[in-house]
Amino acid sequence: MTAPQPSVPTVNAALRSAAASPYSLTFLDAQERETAFTWTKVLERASAVAGGLAARGVRGGDRVAIVIPTSPAFTDAFFGTLLAGAVPVPLYPPVRLGRLDEYHRATARMLERVGAAVVVSDERVKLLLGQSVATARPRLGLVDAEELLASAPGEWVEPRPEDLGLIQFSSGSTVDPKPVALEQRHLLAQCAALKSLMPEPASAGQLGVSWLPLYHDMGLIGALLSAAYYPGPLVLIPPEVFLGTPAIWLRAISRFRGTISPAPNFAYGLCLKRVSDRELEGVDLRSWRYALNGAEPVSPEVLRRFTERFRPLGFDAASMMPVYGLSEASLAVTFSPRRAPARVCPVDARALAEEGRADAGSYELASVGRPLPGVEVEIRGEDGRARPERRVGRVVVRGPSVMRGYYEDAEATAAALPGGWLDTGDLGFFADGELYLCGREKDLVIVRGANHAPQEFEACLEGLAGVRPGCAVALGFTPPDETSEELLILAERRGAPPQDAAVEDAIRGAVVERTGVRPHTVKMLEPGTLPRTSSGKMRRREALRRYLAGQLTPPRRMNVVRMAAELARSTFALARSRLERLRGER
Amino acid sequence: MTLVSAPAEEELRGQALAEIRRILGEQRAAASASAGVELSQALVADIHLDSMELLTLAVGLENRFRVKLNEADSAGIVTVGDLVDLVVRRALAAAAAERSAP
């Protein structure tokens, strides 16, 4: 299928056409009070911010970091940056009771990485950014979005479709943050593809509801930019309001007759766990046509349980639509059709893990659907060749919304885009033309929809008594009793096994303290148990494979006799292979 | 809940601790994890609350006691007792403000 042609060339043009529509952006607070702005007003406010940015010296192409929670100030700053011809870089704001020292380090690192010219914040958050700004020293310092709003409207700079329109971090932390550079045309291609899959216009009642963070692709591109592109109405809920009271999300869908509302798997699980029937009195979910489920592995059990629990409120099983994407592809790569129930493929877990074959079995995987129109997805083996159906390989993607590259990092870009294909680092297979994901080749831990580099967790163990230095790995896995990905730490002990419990506790504390993520499982191992490369580097994926297969065993002790036997065996093997080669040549 | 008259500080402290235990109990499947929560325990170092649990706790306390905690508050908050103190301080201030309002 060919890519649908975007109706406008840039986000700036999309915003202007939205401003001519009657629709609004509505912000909901913790008390479920509304603050609504028409798109006309959104454009007007953004124009003032653009004027303020230009007056302060922001020039075309400058990177403008935006550190603002979900609020009108965010959209003011985001669209204002674009109207000024600059590139918005949304970063996560600090959270209540969160750890500030780690936050400063990560924020300063990301500001430096994109060479931010200025940081735009709001009244509350700016008080907390001093340290990050002092470290990164952006050219024009820190400004309050509200001050910018008081400026005279600026002249709009008209970007070209191939100009940068957004830099989003695929995993934002002190360790190796990856700034994904997206051009205007990439964003528009994504919006056009999404609209072609959910084609009902706002005049037919299309309405988005999202509590997803706006510094993340699913909330920013999937909800905010898409709403401007349709154009249509959108209700935004701050993520912390959803986390505090998940029922607010479902109530908002009911109250505003929401039709599109995306969320990661964990959020659907959270509704099962933390929403009571009492909180849902009068709630009607019949309007919810597109319950998109992405950003982390999708659990068939959560799909089923969510559908069962909320069917009495009018939730349509066909609305539950697993999707797959990544920030390097702007957002979505594959999309499920509307159907009930969501498609599930039962496979043999052992054949899948050990031989890369999707044979029939009892381990269930959820389909994440088919490639978006205009997007090519291939499964490749280690030899780089395409794999047949039901054979596992690396998922590679090519299409109109794939990033230009990582911002000013030619090396990482070349590694991620070999031959013009995006190497997702995810493992999967096709069955009946649909994609199933079954693991990851890249080192990445996804907890609650957020990406983390394993080094982020491993660094917490440095200097911890009882752990062999440098001999621990952090991995993402779905525990047998859970429905979403969790953090696993495998560490080799230095000391006696009786101390394991205390060391495990210390590891948990150190990791949660510095990263905000609590390991689900910590396992202490005999020295030498973790698999390493010949140069001594830890092989994380192999460690996980062995852990899951129950094959993490300490190395055999080498004595002289065994060493001699090994030597003889390998000499014999070498001789045999030479012989075979000779035979082959004849 | 409305704070018509300032309840005794002690009573408020008890309510805050009970609410923290309730929220944590809801968060953690293992009820035992929350039942034993004491004032002297560190939220992160001892109880190992992760970022989502901390946020949920903050939002839950805000809703229950009609107070506002902000991002900068984390600086002085280490133990459960610190958090109880903060909530009580904010709740009493809010009640005082309400009384002095015309």
Could you tell me the CATH number of the domain that includes residue B96? 1.10.1200.10
pLDDT at B4: 46
Mean of pLDDT values over A252-261: 98
Q: Are the Cβ atoms of A243 and B48 closer than 8 angstroms? A: no
CA atoms within 13 A on the CB side of A402: 23
Q: Return mean pLDDT, chain A.
A: 92
Taking contacts as CB-CB distances below 8 angstroms, the residues of chain A near B57 are 97
Residue B15 lies inside a defined structural domain of this protein: yes
What are the start-end ranges of the H helices in A154-238?
184-197, 217-219, 226-229
Domain that holds residue B95: 6-100
Q: Are the Cβ atoms of B51 and A241 closer than 8 angstroms? A: no
* A369 vs A566, higher pLDDT: A369
pLDDT at B31: 45
Which pair of structure tokens corresponds to residue A556?
């055999």
Instruction: Give dist(CA A273, CA A291) in Å, integer.
Output: 18
Strand partners, B79: B42
Taking contacts as CB-CB distances below 8 angstroms, the residues of chain A near B71 are 93-96, 98, 100, 124-125, 128
Strand partners, A504: none
Identity of the amino acid at A125: V
Q: Tell me how many residue pairs between chain A and chain B have CB atoms under 8 A apart.
A: 84
Q: Are the Cβ atoms of A96 and B44 closer than 8 angstroms? A: no
Please say whether the beta carbons of A142 and A116 come within 8 A. Answer: no
Residue B79 lies inside a defined structural domain of this protein: yes
**pLDDT(A586) > 50:** no
Chain A contact present for B62, CB below 8 A: yes
Please say whether the beta carbons of A81 and A101 come within 8 A. Answer: no
Tokens 């133990």 belong to which residue? B79
Chain B contact present for A479, CB below 8 A: no
Sheet holding A370-371, edge to edge: A291-293, A320-325, A332-335, A370-371
What are the start-end ranges of the H helices in A388-453?
410-416
The per-residue pLDDT for range A297-335, each reduced to its tens digit, is: 899 999 999 999 999 999 999 999 999 999 999 999 999
pLDDT at A100: 80
Q: Are the Cβ atoms of B59 and A243 closer than 8 angstroms? A: yes
Mean of pLDDT values over A126-137: 91
**pLDDT(B63) > 80:** yes
Assess: ipTM above 0.95: no
Instruction: Give dist(CA A74, CA A93) in Å, integer.
Output: 11
The per-residue pLDDT for range A532-577, each reduced to its tens digit, is: 988 888 899 899 989 988 888 877 655 556 656 666 666 666 666 6
Instruction: Give dist(CA A533, CA A468) in Å, integer.
Output: 17
Report the range of poorest mean pLDDT among A83-87, A110-114, A573-577, B87-91.
Answer: A573-577
The per-residue pLDDT for range A426-436, each reduced to its tens digit, is: 999 999 999 99
Taking contacts as CB-CB distances below 8 angstroms, the residues of chain B near A240 are 55, 58-59
Please say whether the beta carbons of B94 and B3 come within 8 A. Answer: yes
Q: Are the Cβ atoms of B77 and A30 closer than 8 angstroms? A: no
pLDDT at B2: 47
pLDDT at A247: 97
| Helices then strands, each counted (H, E), chain A | 19, 26
pLDDT at A557: 59
pLDDT at A550: 86
* B29 vs A28, higher pLDDT: A28
Taking contacts as CB-CB distances below 8 angstroms, the residues of chain B near A296 are none
- Closest CB to A100 among B44, B46, B74: B74
Instruction: Give dist(CA A56, CA A150) in Å, integer.
Output: 13
- Closest CB to B50 among A93, A128, A518: A518
CA atoms within 13 A on the CB side of A452: 27
Among residues 13-52 of chain B, which lie with CB inside 8 Å of chain A? 26, 43-46, 48-52
Instruction: Give dist(CA A297, CA A300) in Å, integer.
Output: 10
Mean of pLDDT values over A21-28: 98
For A99, which residue in chain B has the nearest alpha carbon? B74
Which pair of structure tokens corresponds to residue A513?
């303290």
* A282 vs B44, higher pLDDT: A282
- Enumerate residues 6+ apart whose C-beta is below 8 A from A564: none
**pLDDT(B76) > 90:** no
Mean of pLDDT values over A267-288: 96
Instruction: Give dist(CA B36, CA A46) in Å, integer.
Output: 51
Which pair of structure tokens corresponds to residue A147?
């001050």
Instruction: Give dist(CA A116, CA A231) in Å, integer.
Output: 30
For B73, which residue in chain A has the nearest alpha carbon? A97
CA distance, residue A550 to nearest chain B CA (Å) = 26
Chain B contact present for A94, CB below 8 A: yes
* A353 vs A543, higher pLDDT: A543
pLDDT at A207: 98
Taking contacts as CB-CB distances below 8 angstroms, the residues of chain A near B74 are 96-100
Looking at chain A, the whole-number percentage of residues with pLDDT higher than 90 is 75
- Backbone φ and ψ for A36, nearest 5 degrees, come out as -120, 140
Residue A67: name the closest of A139, A136, A143 by CA: A143
Give the dihedral of Cα atoms A44, A48, A49, A51; nearest 10 deg: 130
Residue A235: name the closest of A252, A250, A251, A222 by CA: A252
Q: How many domains are contained in chain B?
A: 1
3-state secondary structure of A117: coil
Instruction: Give dist(CA A35, CA A25) in Å, integer.
Output: 8
Chain B contact present for A465, CB below 8 A: no
Strand partners, A208: A234, A260
Report the range of poorest mean pLDDT among A77-91, A133-147, A487-501.
Answer: A487-501
Residue B1 lies inside a defined structural domain of this protein: no
